[in-house]
Amino acid sequence: MKELNYTPNAVARSLIQRKSFTIGLMLPDITDPFLSSMAQGIEEVISDSGYHLVYGNTSRIREKEESFLLSAAQRKLDGLIITSDYMDGEMMQVLRNLEIPIVFLRRRPPAELDMPFVDVDHYKGSCRAVEYLLSLHHRHIGFIGMPDFSYTGRERYRAFCDTMQKNNIPIAEGATIFGERSYQSGYESMRDLTASYPEMTAVFAANDILAIGALEWLAEQNISVPDQMSIVGFDNLEVSNLHWIKLTTVAQPRKEMGMKSAELLMTMIQEKDSKAASILFDTELIIRRTCAPINL
């Protein structure tokens, strides 16, 4: 093959085996460090199995999600791993029409779709974060959340509300705020929360990016963390462990989630009649330096 400079014809191989040996990965934001870690795990498994990966970065735009899913049929992809922000009746019908193995990653498919998912227990992990703040005797706890369309954001907010209620602690008016997934949103949310809820001594932020944005605003105001304000995040991004941050947060096995979703999809492709079971990972509370007991 080397002497003749021969290159196998991938198209001919696909026609003979009726496979494209290509998998689609649909992500809402490839620049998100959480999602890029999962993508790395997926690529390792897919590559080892002799498949190629086609990325679809949808920028959280519904039309881009639909366009990528429709292109999966045109490209004859063998399977899909998707993280979707929009899943209405029309999108569900698009997925049914594809008739290829599909795994939801970090999202739960609607009940009408018989498709497996790989995720963590966002609710349980968030309950653990709020319970930790309560164990430090904080009672005036604020919440910085993600947009309402975010499933993970809704689950983390639900956990915050339920944990406070379970401990007979009312959520004060002005104690919750919702924004975008950005450092700037965390910065502005911390500023606004402090104004609307001056009694607040601790904050649970729905992700690390929001939490770090909140830390930035507190630092500019010379509000000491954790002496005057305790902060907990969610995701355990690499940046959260930097020396000046050392954020207490909830960890998810990001790369392992990606690898497991790819392994699940490869099994579905290779064993067409197999019934794939969803996988739910547990989370871990990582205690660092942004929380302290309140002075009673």
pLDDT per residue of the chain (296 residues) written in tens, 0 to 9: 666 665 554 444 444 445 789 999 999 888 877 788 899 999 999 999 999 999 999 988 999 999 999 999 889 999 999 998 888 889 999 999 999 999 999 888 988 898 999 999 999 999 999 999 999 999 999 999 998 878 889 999 999 999 999 999 999 999 999 999 899 999 999 999 999 999 999 999 999 999 999 999 999 999 999 999 999 999 999 999 999 999 999 999 999 999 999 999 999 998 876 778 999 999 999 999 999 998 76
Q: What is the pLDDT of residue 6?
A: 52
CATH class of this structure's domain 10-120+253-282: alpha beta
DSSP string, 190-203: HHHHHHH-TT--EE
Q: What is the pLDDT of residue 18?
A: 58
Backbone angles phi, psi at 58, to 5 degrees: -95, -10
> Which of 259, 275, 18, 250 has the alpha carbon at shortest distance from 152?
250
Q: What is the pLDDT of residue 259?
A: 95
Calpha distance 207→199 (Å, rounded)? 23
Q: What is the pLDDT of residue 46?
A: 94
Q: How many CB atoms are located within 10 Å of the residue 8 CB?
A: 8
Domain with residues 122-251, CATH architecture: 3-Layer(aba) Sandwich (3.40)
Calpha distance 50→22 (Å, rounded)? 9
> Using omega within 30 degrees of 0 as the cis cutoff, is the peptide bond preceding 101 cis?
no
Say if CB 57 and CB 27 are below 8 A apart: yes
Calpha distance 223→202 (Å, rounded)? 12
- In the chain, CATH 3.40.50.2300 sits at 10-120+253-282, 122-251
Which position has the token pair 């791993």?
Answer: 81
Q: What is the pLDDT of residue 20?
A: 84
Q: What is the pLDDT of residue 255?
A: 92
Cα–Cα distances (Å) from 197 to 176, 177, 230, in that order, read: 9, 11, 14
Calpha distance 38→43 (Å, rounded)? 9
> Which of 289, 280, 292 has the alpha carbon at shortest distance from 125?
280
Which position has the token pair 């496979």?
Answer: 19
Calpha distance 269→211 (Å, rounded)? 40
Q: What is the pLDDT of residue 2?
A: 62
Say if CB 237 and CB 214 are below 8 A apart: no
**pTM of this structure:** 0.86
DSSP string, 29-91: -TT-HHHHHHHHHHHHHHHHTT-EEEEEE-TT-HHHHHHHHHHHHHTT-SEEEE--S---HHH
| Encoded tokens for 172 | 């004060």
Calpha distance 199→172 (Å, rounded)? 10
